[in-house]
Structure 1
Amino acid sequence: MAFPAGSSCSSPSVPAGLRSARASLRSAEAAYDGEASALRYQLKSVFADILNARETIKLSQGTLERRTENLELLRLKYQAGRENKAAMLETEAALKTAQWQHEKYKKNLLMLMRKFNRLLGLPARSLVPELELPRPPEPPEEFSSFSQRLASHYSLRAARAALAVSGASVETARGARLPEANASGSYAWSGSDWPAAPNRWSLGASLSLPLFSSGKLSSDLGAATAKLRGAEASLKNAQDEVYLNAEDSFLSWRQADSYMDVAKSSLDATGARAWLVRKQYLAGQSSYFEWRNVEEQLISEQNQYLSAGLGLTLAHAAFVRALGE
């Protein structure tokens, strides 16, 4: 009775394909994170616009009430012969303008809510809850405190993944040019007195060289190497672009935060002056034109303060997105 046994082996291939697949997975994850970051920024921006639009409508309602009171006051003064007709007509026109603007603000709010619902995949007519966004935190003095968070930016992760894929392609191209070695062996015996019984050994080895395809393989290696260099350059460019964009967004955030104090101080000063001039006008100590001008300035400062708050919220949201979050 014969009992054959054998084995064979060949040189292991470089696991470049596995590394390439893992890098492709990381690239897909980075792309997903990029889309999620963009969507979060868009949602926050639209919601901030909605909150600003609601505050604008409240402000506009107050302006309407004040314009109505002013018109009644001017009519009384005109009927008493203490004011001219031009002033009364101008005040009436200001009231009509405020009414038109109020309707425009309401339309803007409605369209923003429709847009917000579409982003969320909700019915367009769904009600947007009366929520508030917390005021953004005060920015630190230096941008360097965000360096670690910036290192995990989705653009950088995608560029690193592309570099890994290119590196795996180079390894694959190099491996294709190497000789392939194969070895095999077998052992057979017969009889019941193994291992003393007669037996046979058989050994074999082979070496294959890619002689006839060396030109194509060299070309493939050159192309893969060039692609690797391009991926290295792309990573460097991505690092510079991400850093500069984040730094610019950081400085814009700081600027918007500082401007909030400016807008608040200006609003307080204008409000105090408007109150004083109104009292003076009612007492006959100030002209209509001075009173009108300070009223217009107050409305402008109120709107400017709302815009400053919106600008701060959007600047912080843009910075968070610039960090890749």
Structure 2
Amino acid sequence: MKYTFSFLSMVIVIPTLVGCAVGPDYHKEDVWTPSKWSKPTQNLQASVNSQVVMDKINPQWWDYFHDPVLSDLERRAVTANLDVQMATQRLIASRAQLMIAGSARFPSVNGSAGYQRNQYSKKGFSRAIDKIRNREPALGNMVNPSDIDVPAFNQWDDALDTSWEVDLWGRVRRQYESAKALKQMSEEDRRGILIAQQAEVAQNYMTLRGLQAQLQIVKENEKIAQDILDLANQRFNGGLVTELDVRSAEAQLEQTRADIPNLEQQIIEYINALGLLLGEPPRALSTELSTPKPIPPVPSQVPIGFPSELAQRRPDIRQAEAKLHSATAEVGVAEADFYPKVTIDARLGFQSLSLRDLGFWSSRAWSVGPSLSLPIFEGGKLKGQLTLKKAEQKEAALAYRKTVLQAWQEVDNALNAYQAEQLRQVRLQDTVKSNQRSVYLAQAQYRQGLQTFINVLNAERRLLSSQQDLVNSNTQISINLVQLYKALGGGWESTYPDSSQIASTQPQTEVQTQGQTQTMSKKN
């Protein structure tokens, strides 16, 4: 009756205790979020042609540039980029760790089978008979120890062994909760790497097109410098100027030509950089990227989503949140280590001295029972471990808040940089126009002998410098837009994108380029 009471008590009490879990439960942190995006000054906002708007972001944000080559490179980077592939393997490893942690929630069952050939010693039987003889002389004298023959015998057994830790204090559940959060961290790490690599592809592509545009400008200025040299030679042969004008014109021509090899070298470097991002060897993309194309223009309206969505789009914020969740669960694991650990072990099998009898029900053998282990003295190990986990939790909470604030800082800086560079572009356009007119007037007046040659050279240098500055500004505007979308966390999808999902679906959009607006749409 006592056994029945104890067993029933265990059946009733254990499920009740299993529902408990020591340690703090995770609750999402409340972080600062502005109600609207910050806006630039009124003068700056009125001067730019590409305006940011609160609207849904296309997950394939690079399609806003309406450049089919760029869109194709981005689609290929999803599966070809080696950093993304390494992050995928880390995610697979974290999922395996989750399976390992989750297995502790269930009983472990193992099968075993064995065979033994046993031989007991005669000496043991002789000592037993001697003891019997001492107690019962009449009975002991009936058996002579020397006549005893102890035969060898076989022992066959097979069994199922099972063990299950009764999770009274939630230690196993907290471990599984932590492992799930770590898996979430790996998922966000992969997504963050993908966004960073996609932004890197776009920035390198913009820079490549900008270098090609600079090379074209230098070659055009090379022709201008050659024309000025021809003019100086004509005037020198006519006795109108000294040799100084000729040599100065030659120096200007060679200086202009000296920029060409450097630009060509940089073009090759950026083609190779794009190849590496796509997992290709050097020069593999030369055929498709060597032909110069315009710098991808920015759209007249740039959707940037809504402020409340930033925490969902930024993988680093989600990763920091998952880390905090894991650290919180680890505190529960450390607290549960202070409590007793109860394990139920059971064994069911068959034992027989003959193989042919092994399968009979009468050969069955079984055992079942709980075991309990209680930490009594650990030398401060458990207390130190709990203190460590609590400190790690607080650190993770602070890191989460810092990540959120840093994200908002990056977005704010990217917004201002995007709009400020457009204002700079407008000023540079006016500068180029003025310098083009200055070169024309200086050449015309030099032919008439109204200007010295030094004025022609200065006008040419100013024109080349301003043209390069304008190309750099056009490039930087597109790069700044890429950096803005990177700061916003790219687009957002509920599932991780693959190459089939990265389909170019460009809507008809007004695209602003060098102060002029034109309508472009993707050709079907």
Query: TM-score, structure 1 length as denominator?
Result: 0.81
Distance 1:259 1:209 in 2: 73
Q: 1:294 aligns with which of 455, 459, 476?
A: 459
Give CA deviations for 1:151-210 in whole Å, capped at 9, x if unaligned.
431211111111101111122233344567899xxxxxxxxxxxxxxxxxxxxxx99794
Contact 2:206 2:479 in 1 (8 A): yes
Contact 2:210 2:295 in 1 (8 A): no
Alignment of 1:17 with 2:179, yes or no, is no
State the one-letter code of the partner of 1:272: R
Distance 2:315 2:452 in 1: 61
Aligned to 1:196: none
Aligned to 2:115: none
Aligned to 1:155: 316
Aligned to 1:212: 376
Distance 2:425 2:383 in 1: 63
Distance 1:144 1:303 in 2: 34
Aligned to 2:419: 254
Deviation at 1:301, TM superposition (A): 0.8
Distance 2:332 2:342 in 1: 18
Distance 2:300 2:307 in 1: 14
Aligned to 1:238: 403
Aligned to 1:168: 329
- The CA RMSD over aligned residues, in Å, is 3.1
Deviation at 1:283, TM superposition (A): 3.0
Cα pair distance change 1:150/1:249, threshold 3 Å: farther
Q: 1:90 aligns with which of 248, 268, 290?
A: 248
Q: Which blocks of at least 5 consecutive residues in structure 1 are unaligned? A: 184-205
Identity %: 15
Size of the alignment, in residue pairs? 299
State the one-letter code of the partner of 1:77: R
Alignment of 1:46 with 2:200, yes or no, is no
Aligned to 1:136: 298
Contact 2:407 2:487 in 1 (8 A): yes
Cα pair distance change 1:296/1:181, threshold 3 Å: closer
Q: Which blocks of at least 5 consecutive residues in structure 2 are unaligned? A: 19-166, 345-369, 491-524
Contact 1:181 1:207 in 2 (8 A): yes
Contact 1:64 1:99 in 2 (8 A): yes
When you count helix as a share of all residues, which structure comes out higher?
A: 1
Matches within 5 A, 1:255-270: 255-270=420-435
Cα pair distance change 1:72/1:182, threshold 3 Å: closer
State the one-letter code of the partner of 2:336: G
Contact 1:150 1:323 in 2 (8 A): no
Contact 2:311 2:404 in 1 (8 A): no
Distance 2:329 2:392 in 1: 11
Deviation at 1:322, TM superposition (A): 2.2
Distance 2:311 2:441 in 1: 51
Deviation at 1:20, TM superposition (A): 1.2
Aligned to 2:479: 314
Distance 2:224 2:397 in 1: 64
Contact 2:268 2:283 in 1 (8 A): no
Deviation at 1:285, TM superposition (A): 3.1
Aligned to 2:83: none
Deviation at 1:119, TM superposition (A): 2.4
Distance 2:270 2:325 in 1: 43
Deviation at 1:117, TM superposition (A): 1.6
Distance 2:258 2:371 in 1: 88
State the one-letter code of the partner of 1:244: Q
Q: Please, which moves more after superposition, 236-245 or 53-62?
A: 236-245
Deviation at 1:146, TM superposition (A): 4.4
State the one-letter code of the partner of 2:237: Q
Deviation at 1:61, TM superposition (A): 1.3
Distance 2:473 2:273 in 1: 23
Cα pair distance change 1:84/1:150, threshold 3 Å: farther
Distance 1:132 1:83 in 2: 41
Matches within 5 A, 1:28-107: 28-107=186-265
SS at match of 1:274: helix
SS at match of 1:108: helix
Cα pair distance change 1:150/1:221, threshold 3 Å: closer
Deviation at 1:212, TM superposition (A): 1.4
Contact 1:173 1:220 in 2 (8 A): yes
Contact 2:339 2:375 in 1 (8 A): no
Cα pair distance change 1:245/1:83, threshold 3 Å: same
Deviation at 1:29, TM superposition (A): 1.1
Give CA deviations for 1:5-35 in whole Å, capped at 9, x if unaligned.
x876323133222321211111001111222
| Rg (Cα) greater in structure | 2
Cα pair distance change 1:272/1:88, threshold 3 Å: same
Alignment of 1:284 with 2:449, yes or no, is yes
Distance 1:120 1:58 in 2: 27
SS at match of 2:414: helix
State the one-letter code of the partner of 2:313: S
Cα pair distance change 1:226/1:264, threshold 3 Å: same
Q: Please, which moves more after superposition, 246-255 or 70-79?
A: 246-255
